[in-house]
Amino acid sequence: MWKRQGNAMRKSVDDVNWNDLLLYLGRNNREILHHVHSENNSVSKAIRINHEIILIRVSFIHNELVITFPQLNTVSDHVTEASATYVEEWFDLSRDLQPFYSLAEDDEILNGVVSAYKGLRIIGVEDLFEALCWSIMGQQISLHVAYALKQKLVTTYGESICHDGMTYWLFPSPERISSLSVEDLRALSFTQRKAEYVIGVAELMASDYLYKEQFIGLSLSEMEAKLIAIRGIGKWSANYVIMRCFRHPDAFPLADVGLHNALKKVRNESQKPSLEEIERWAENWRGWRAYATFYLWRTLQD
């Protein structure tokens, strides 16, 4: 449970691998939506609360997660509570990982991986529009190039606040992107198709034809089918969104290149495994395939 102490919110946690969470958050120097402060092991991020942009900073001190508000002298209860809810979802803190740990103990692929990074949690993307755009931008290109695309999109069309000489950005709204032309995004190095897909998703969301609450209560297969019906969203993109935005622990981006490279590395093989092999191994991960994927991705940072 989160508790307020002055202008800060605090929560005792005993199963969070903060160092590996920060390592993931800082994995690319073109990341534009948060900033990792290596000097004090914290992360800062701008979020929107009641139409106002608020800067939050999250630290891990003596087994407590601590949320502070660097640019505010006084903080309302609503802001502290909304920020705590955001961080809870961002780091999937409500998830009991013990069943995943137990599963991994008996799995020859996951055993060493999970024991090495125990306490790592899937870092979420709360905003559905951001998650969908990120999944589109990341299709068939390297992670570094995808970050470059996101950086251009956010700094051109997003909102921001400044604090201590640093700019903190919010992902552009679907309303803002829906007003653009394909040529506007082509000028940011988007391909023709990706520009069309991103604007198409923006139009769906700006018109309230697509919104996050539609997915509440749906099964994994139902969520997948609903997302795949969107132009530009295939099975990989759908499962990535379900994993990162809807926090389903069994979402499985089977075709993910990072997953393939991680399995090659963990198994010390000269070639990447086939999809059939991965599907066979993943049968033992059912219920936790998203977490298995996220932990395997972590091995690529070593």
d(CA 177, CA 161): 20
Structural domains of the chain ordered from first start: 3-94 (3.30.310.20), 128-244 (1.10.340.30), 257-299 (no CATH)
Q: Check if 256 is active-site.
A: yes
| pLDDT lower than 50: segments of the chain | none
Give the model's pLDDT for residue 250.
Answer: 98
Give the model's pLDDT for residue 127.
Answer: 97
C-beta atoms surrounding 48 within 10 Å: 15
d(CA 201, CA 232): 9
d(CA 46, CA 34): 7
Q: Is the Cα torsion angle 101, 105, 111, 115 positive or negative in sign?
A: positive
Are residues 85 and 95 in contact, defined by beta-carbon separation less than 8 angstroms? no
Q: What share of the chain is helix, strand, coil (3-state, %, to 5)?
A: 45, 15, 40
Per-residue pLDDT of 272-295, as tens digits, reads 999 999 999 999 999 999 999 999
pTM reported for the whole predicted model: 0.96
Amino acid at position 240, single letter: Y
Whose CA is closest to 57, among 23, 22, 24? 22
Give the model's pLDDT for residue 128.
Answer: 98
d(CA 138, CA 153): 13
Whose CA is closest to 250, among 282, 289, 280, 281? 289
Q: Which of 184, 250, 256, 302 is catalytic?
A: 256
d(CA 67, CA 4): 9
CA–CA distance from 71 to each of 54, 143, 155 (Å)? Answer: 8, 32, 21
225's enclosing H/E stretch is: helix 220-228
